[in-house]
Amino acid sequence: MTSVAAPPVADHEVVHQLPDRLRCHVPRLRADEAYAARLLALAQRDGRVGDARVNRWAASVAVRWAAPFPAQDQAEARIGELLHDAQRASTPATPLSGSRFGDRFARLAVAGAVAGLAGLGRLLGLTVPGPLAAIAVLAASLPIARRAVHAVTVERRLNLDVLDMTAILLTTMRGSLLAPLSVIGLVEVGEAIRERTARASRRELLDLLDSIAETVWVERGAQRVRVAIDEVRRGDVVVVYPGDRIPVDGRVLEGRALIDEHQLTGEPMPVLHEEGEVVYASTLMRDGHLHIAVELVGGETRAGRIVQLMRDAPVHDTRIENYAGRLADRIVLPSFLLAGAVLIATRNPTRAASILITDFATGIRVSVPTAVLAAMTGAAQAGVVIRSGRALEQLARVDAVVFDKTGTITQGNPAVVGVESVTSGLSSDEVLAIAATADQRLSHPVAEAIVRYAAINGLSPGARDRWNYDIGLGVRAEIGGQEVLVGSDRLLASANVDLAPAQPSKEGESRIYVAADGRVCGVIAYADPIRREAQHVVGALRERYGMDIHLLTGDKSETAHAVGRRLGIDAANVHGELFPEDKAAVLRELRAEGRRVAFVGDGINDLPALAYADVSVSFGGATAVARETADVVLIEDSLHALPTAVGAARQAMRRVRQNIGIVGGVNLAALTVATASGLSPTTAAVVHNGSTVVAAVNGLRPLLRGDRRRRPADDDDRQEIRDG
């Protein structure tokens, strides 16, 4: 018996696996969009798959199983089958992006061609079978018919699709072709535009715990062994080294280390943790090493609770339905009643069909999304990505803006703000040169800031002899025969150096001291600087748009209030020392007060607040999950475009109201004439379509006159920010 080789599977590598999820690297995804689309379609139809995400640019597929497989090799085999099946060209694919424009209008093009042939045949004295043209028109209306049937049989209601389909049937049966084709064309154009302004309502969540290594070092008896992260249990002792992310919430048993917590807590500077202190999963160890007694693992950790908060956050409908959908559906029943009354009174189906055609619901459904799409396109040209019509609508209604501090209002990295010599023997440049020489090649962010500031001032680090870095305190070095200390006040105090000559630090600033041969000789002040444009942007939002401004941070309350005072934010609206769930609670309180809230943030610690805001705003350079969660993305790493986005949203809503007035006014006049004396279906279609075109052009004005322009991130703060 001849064995048959198994079909080849696309090259792939399992890069991360837990009982309930698996992530693979598949190089083919990056080069083959059709393959990626087929893989996603197959995964979404597979009963064993609970959720699937395909990232072409990262050549990655992530699968969360509906139920864990009994064995790891079974999960690997299943993903292999999916990858193999996706190689078959016959597998139907769901496009990863964009609308099926060609499919949507193919039947309409065929129907138009048949109708054109019918008209040409009549001019030439030829006969084109009427049923053939009618069948072509009805075939073009199938998508509308399906939606109408679903509304009546499943939703048990009359909607705009039912109204449109009735008008199409009546006019087609009366032998009219132009009128039903124009209605079909308008409806399909409107649906295509609505799809472009919609964003999938299901949030694509990046599991924060995926950033933690798959294996960790655990002490088992007298040995240190590497185990899978999902095998770690409460009571174990894990060991973490520089460059690792802490995998658990726990208490330090041994060691000391500098931990970068800014993405989780908002604290911009690395925090020194020693024996007895609590550390958190997903934070990054910059220096040192720790032995940690495990207290919480996986979803129980603070990072895990952030994931749960994200999943529990409300997910809003993404169609701009307040103006278009709801208003259009309200008009359906009155239109049917009026058409029925005219039919009973006149016994003329043509006049009844004309009334159904002159309804202004279809025009609203086309012109309103057109205005929204134009506003979204114009905002993108100005450096703002507004992801959906719903986001644009909500942004126009916002009356409170809540900013995260670290990385949003501030730059998120320490920077030197001043150097002072406290001895007559040295200049400030000499103090800076000594500090840069001592701090060279250290990975501490403050040391890097000092070396960077020295380079900006034309100073290069000199020769450094023996040196020793004490975690959390500073560096001791021998430079030019002198014993030099560069670090905190605790470092100098441990060497019995008198700090009296140094002046107290200013509000919002931290200090590094420089001492030589047992005497303090200089002070270097550093801070997390406020973004240069922040004050102007906050002022524009408050004064031009009447916004209530709030500031949230995980940083110290004193630092938060110092930043708030510089920006003119009321002290009652400044909140410090908040964990991520606390930020979300502030957002919920504001919304409970009736506020429409926009939240601006960029880090992991901002995710719950981003999810609970009416509109979430982030930067193009923010963490990947913050960008994905955000409704509005400022492409440049600058706040300059935020007032632009608000102005664009408010102007878009004004154009929406104008379009409703244009379509409603013209069609109401036509409806009056059709009711009183009658209009032919063709004339009704011309009036109806003409008003829709005028309204659509009005919605496109921002693009037609090209009044949007991108603003460089380094413009002077005082330059006027266009509001669209």
Catalytic residues: 404
What phi, psi does 493 have (nearest 5°)? -65, -35
Task: Classify 481 as helix, strand or coil.
Answer: coil
Compute the distance between CA of residue 35 and CA of residue 321 in angstroms, rounded to an integer.
Answer: 34
H helices within 154-235, ranges in order? Answer: 160-173, 178-197
What is the DSSP pairing of strand 574-575 with strand 548-552? parallel
Record the tokens describing residue 99, joined without a space: 């609308």
Q: Beta strands 215-220 and 223-228: pairing type? A: antiparallel
* Alpha-carbon distances, residue 336 vs 212, 343, 367, 429 (angstroms): 60, 10, 22, 84
DSSP, collapsed to helix, strand or coil, labels residue 11 as coil
Identify the residue whose tokens are 């031009």: 544
For 415, list phi and psi in degrees, rounded to 5: -145, 145
Burial state string for 384-422 with b = 16 or more CB within 10 A and e = fewer than 16: bbbbbbbbbbbbbebebbbbbbbbbbbbbbbbbbebebb
- 607 and 594 Cβ atoms separated by less than 8 Å: no
Other Cβ atoms within 10 Å of 282 Cβ, number: 24
Structure tokens at 226: 């590497």
**CB of 600 closer than 8 Å to CB of 384:** no
Q: Is 468 exposed, middle or buried (0-12, 13-18, 19+ CB in 10 A)?
A: exposed
DSSP state of 245: B
* DSSP H helices in 273-398: 302-312, 325-346, 349-357, 361-381, 389-397
Q: In what helix (H) or strand (E) does residue 69 lie, and over which residues does it extend? A: none
Residue pair 624/668 in contact by the 8 Å Cβ criterion: no
CA distances from residue 555 to 272, 277, 322, 722 in whole angstroms, order as listed: 15, 18, 39, 32
Give how far Cα 567 sits from Cα of 109, 178, 547, 574, 715, Å. Answer: 58, 61, 14, 11, 19
Identity of the residue numbered 211: S
Q: CA 340, CA 353: separation in Å to the nearest integer?
A: 10
Please list, in sequence order, all residues whose beta carbon lies within 8 angstroms of the beta carbon of residue 187, skipping any fewer than 6 positions away.
144, 161, 164, 362, 365, 366
Q: Note whether 383 and 635 are within 8 A (CB).
A: yes
Using alpha carbons only, what angle is made at residue 256 by residues 253 and 262, rounded to the nearest 5 degrees?
105
Sign of CA dihedral 600, 603, 607, 608: negative
| Biggest distance spanned by C-alpha atoms of the chain | 111
